[in-house]
Structures are given as C-alpha cells and as structure tokens.
Amino acid sequence: MTVTKEVELLPAPKAEDLAAVLLETEQPRRPSALSASLTFGWRAVLKIKHVPEQLFDVTAFPIMMILMFTYLFGGALAGSPGEYIQYLLPGITVTSVVMITMYTGVAVNTDIEKGVFDRFRTLPIWRPAPMVGYILGDLLRYVLASTVIMVVGLVLGFRPGGGFVGVVAGVAVLVAFSFAFSWVWTMFGLLMRSEKSVMGVSMLVLFPLTFLSNVYVDPRTMPGWLQAFVDVNPISKLVASVRALMAGGFDGDAMIWTLGYGVFFTAVFGAWTMRLYNRK
Amino acid sequence: MNAIETSGLVKVFGDTRAVDGVDLTVPAGTVYGLLGPNGAGKTTTVRMLATLLRPDDGEARVFGHDVRADPDAVRRLVSLTGQYASVDEDLTGTENLVLLARLLGHGRAHARARAAQLLEAFGLTDSAAKQVKHYSGGMRRRLDIAASILNTPKLLFLDEPTTGLDPRSRNQVWDIVRAVVGHGTTVLLTTQYLDEADQLASRIAVIDHGKVIAEGTKGELKASVGVGAVHLRLRDADQRARAQEVLARALEADVQLDADPVALTARLSGRATEQAAEALAQLAREGITVDTFSLGQPSLDEVFLALTDKKEAAA
C-alpha cells in the first residue's frame, strides 16, 4: 500500500535542477584500471551489506565441514579427533574456501541477464574491471571463511606449529590462489545459460578436485593410479603449501606448483572470461 | 557532423536477420525516432551502435568513430538507457549513481555531490536511501535516465524509455528528454508508441523485419500515406452500412468500419476539405444523423499500418 502512495506522491522532475546538472559538461579523466576494479569491488561489498544472509554460506558451511570430518572420521583415520584435526584443518580450510569460489560464477551469471550489465559494458573503462570487482568482493568472503574455520579449529584443539604468522601466511596463499581460481567460475558464469547449470558444473569440478586430494587422508594409502592424479591435483599442491606454512615450515616445491597453477588459471581462464564478456 | 551514420548494417542471429541492411543518418542535436513493432530490430540496432553487439556486416559511425574499430571512443560519447532499467536493483538510488559516477572518473566527494544533485532534480531524494528493487517503474526509469546523464553524453540511446509506464510518468519522462535535448545532446529514441515518436522526434525511421521501410520528418511520413482522414460517428449504428455506401461514392475512397459500431473512417487523397463538406451534405440528404465529424492529418498509427500493409501486399 505504501508503494501506491509513493507513486502518487512522486514529485515532478525539477527543470531548474535538471538544467544545472546538464550545464556541467566537464568530463572527468578516465579512472585507472585499479580504481575501476576497486569501485566494482565496492559494489560487491555493498551487496553483502544489503543482503548479509548470503554470508551464511561462508560461515555455516565450513563449520559444518570441520565438525563433521573431525568427529566422524577423526577416530578411524588418526586414532582420535584431536590428532586428526592437526592433519585436517589446513586442508579443510582450503576445501571450504575453494568451494566458496564457485559463488563468483553464480553472481556473474545472475547479473549478466540484468540491464545493469549493459550499462557497465558501455562505460569507457578498463574492460576486465567488472569481473575483477566480483573477485575482489569475494576475497572478503574467503578471508571471512578462513577466519571462521581457524577460530573453530583452535577451539577444537588445532595447534599450528607456525603460530600466528604461519597461519596468516597460509591463509594469504590460499586467498591468492582462490583469486586466480575464481576466473574459472567467471568463465562458466558467462558461458552457462542458468544459475543452476553453473552450480551443476561447479560441483562436477569441485568434488573430484577437493576429495581426490591430500585433504582428508595421506595419499600413500591410495592405489597408484589414484596417487598419480592426486599428485598433480592443484588442490593437493595448494594444501601442501598451506599445511607447511601453518606447521611453521615451507614446501618450496608445492609452492612453485601452486604459483604456477595460479598463473595458469588467471592467464587461461581470465583471457577466456574476457573473450566471452566482450562477445556477450 | 552527424551523430550517427550507418550503411548496410547487418546482424544475424542464427537464421534470423534481426537487422538486415539498415542505413541511418542522424544529425547532431536532434531527437531521432526508430519506430517499429516488437522484434523489428530496433533494440539490436541500438545495441550495435552502443558497442554492446558487433555488427556482422556494414558500417556504423558515432560522431565519426567506427563502432567496431574504436569502440572505446564511442563509449566515451554515449549513454544507454535500456529497455529494462539498467540500474542495480540490490543497491540504493544513491549507491547506483555514486558507483557509476566513480566509474566515470569523478572523485569520491564530487561523485556524492553529483548523485545528490541528480536525485534532487529527478524528485528521488526521498527514496535515495532505498534499494532500487523497492522503486516503482516510474522511479526506476528516472534513476536510469539520471544514471545516463551523470556525464552529459553527446549521444543518448533511449530504448523504449516509457514502456510499461502510466501516462503521467510517461509525460514526465518526455519532459526530461526534452530538457536533455535542449542542452545539446542528440537522442536516438526507439519506441513502439507512435504517439511518443510524434511527441519527441523530429525525424523518424520506420523499421520492420530488420529493414527501414520509410524515413523522413513526421510531416513527410504522414503525407506519404495520404492528405488526411475523415472520422465520423453516427447516432444510429443501423445507418452505418448506408453511410458507408454514400461516403464511398462522395469521397471516391475506401471507407473503413471501425471497431466502434457507430464509427467510420475514410482516407482522403485529393481536395480533402471540399470532398468532406460534400460528403456531409449528402449524408444529411439521405437522412443519416452524424454525431461527430473530424478531419485531420493521418495519425502515425495510420501511417504505420499503411506502411506495413503496403510492404506485406508487395511481398
């Protein structure tokens, strides 16, 4: 009922004010690539501000994962939940955050159908800025999810050898990798016809990647052919890097692989995303 | 310089030639109307000109810049208000405008000031802090147009700007468009409302099945269909058949029966006024009572129907 009232009361446009606006014809300078991307990042943050419920995914899901795996498999796999969590926590952090990256694709897909995207595409700005903005906004979720898991982990008895610095370094590597990995989802977000198909493809990619890895159990317990896959899986490399950092060490080999995969995802899927974006 | 020049513009989607060789010349500083039914190719044409779609063939220039070779130069000069409001529903009115102002290069403070100024000018100050999803259709349109003039564009695309609006909101949008044009912006307006093209545009291209089927000033288009039309309303519906016969003889023209059972319309070709007077006299002699009578230029509606009929008859 308030809506009808508003329509009736909507004041007529003010000619003098409009004239004043139109008289200002000075064109500001084109924003830099970084500035445009950060502005789009700000947009993503505003959306979280207006719909805070969407953070449920990045908080409840990781808590559920960590509780389930620690208490369900802890005893069987490592003798006790307390011992298992020392092994599991870095990996479950990686899994949770990498799982969340798929929401980037969903966000792109739901947005692209809306008129606002047309406006963005007619702006004289650095072309990838809207896409980078999505991912920048998502970095906030990654940091939030990592923090939640770490806090829950510490409460449950996780005692990282690397201390605070090691944990922060591990999370930093994870977030940086997730930034690169998100380009896979921006690509699918533009490619797929519906939100549902984006989710479907995401699951199809993410489940094997996260489970066929060194997240839950030591790969040495697996058959040879599976070990071969687990060894080259980018998630395994990432988990090895993060696990080492959190334990206070440094796995140079895994780190180089992680970095390489990051560059690969950004270059290939970033370029692919932009190709689709320009053609849309 | 012309704001828009296209020659042989083509866009194909699958088997459909959505735009099939469109030639347009839009002089700077005018409102140019693209008139046509749904699916005629209006929006596709606009999307190509606004660099959202790549033409498959032909050439299109906006203020001399080729849309394919130099899209960035085109984007600097144009704004688009799309068929579906091009604003972010999850953000508030202020946030939408500040976001776009920032993307256009305004500093933080200036972006805020500009947003506030525009919201005030468009009578949206009271709803500035509300999410756009709670706006009415009229408010959305206003915000959308406000977003398009954050930097006064040299060329503004308005793609069916009043579709779905009530008459009052529609009139207000027209006032805004007139004000924008008054300050030197060229407007390319697409519409399926003939009334709207009549109100705003100085030149009109009628587009159907991806082709321009007629082009000219409003007067030229109307003249191309005939001098004028006579509209009659009788007191008694039973007399209509007789009236039709009498009129057809007197006017030497086809007389159409309207949906209203007492109304008739005849299109005139030559000495319109004399013929009409003679026809009225004859109707009186036959004892047919005429309630209302009007003689006027054909409406754009009639122009449009006549043009599309002609084309179908030729096909």
The rounded distance, in Å, linking the Cα atoms of B56 and A48 is: 40
Look at residue A116 and tell me whether its pLDDT is greater than 80.
yes
pLDDT at A62: 86
pLDDT at B276: 79
Hey, of B52, B53, B103, which one would you mutate to test binding to chain A, going by the most A CBs within 10 A of its CB?
Answer: B103
Look at residue A6 and tell me whether its pLDDT is greater than 50.
no
B23 touches chain A (CB under 8 A): no
With CA atoms as reference, report the closest residue to B112 among B104, B121, B123, B101.
Answer: B101
Instruction: Give mean pLDDT, residues A215-229.
Output: 88
Instruction: Give mean pLDDT, residues A167-182.
Output: 95
- Positions of chain B with pLDDT lower than 50, given as ranges: none
Strand runs labelled E in A95-198: none
CB atoms within 10 A of CB B150: 22
pLDDT at B154: 93
Mean pLDDT is lowest, of A247-256, A267-276, B35-44, B266-275, for B266-275
- B57: enclosing H helix or E strand: strand B57-62
B165 touches chain A (CB under 8 A): no
Instruction: Give mean pLDDT, residues A191-220.
Output: 90
The rounded distance, in Å, linking the Cα atoms of B148 and B188 is: 13
Residue of A nearest to B159 (CA): A115
For the ranges A7-21, A62-76, B145-159, the maximum mean pLDDT occurs at B145-159
pLDDT at A221: 87
pLDDT at A1: 47
Q: How far is B67 from chain A (nearest CA, A)?
A: 12
Which of the four pLDDT bands, split at 50, 70 and 90, describes residue A5? very low
Fill in the amino acid letter for B270: G
Which residues is B92 bridged to in the sheet? Answer: B131
Q: Which residues of B touch A6 (CB under 8 A)?
A: 127, 136, 139
Contact A128, A166 (CB under 8 A): no
Quote the pTM value. Answer: 0.83
Rounded to the nearest integer, the mean pLDDT of chain A is 88
The rounded distance, in Å, linking the Cα atoms of B122 and B131 is: 16
The rounded distance, in Å, linking the Cα atoms of B206 and B213 is: 6
Angle between helices A102-112 and A163-191 (to 10 degrees): 40
The rounded distance, in Å, linking the Cα atoms of B198 and B300 is: 7
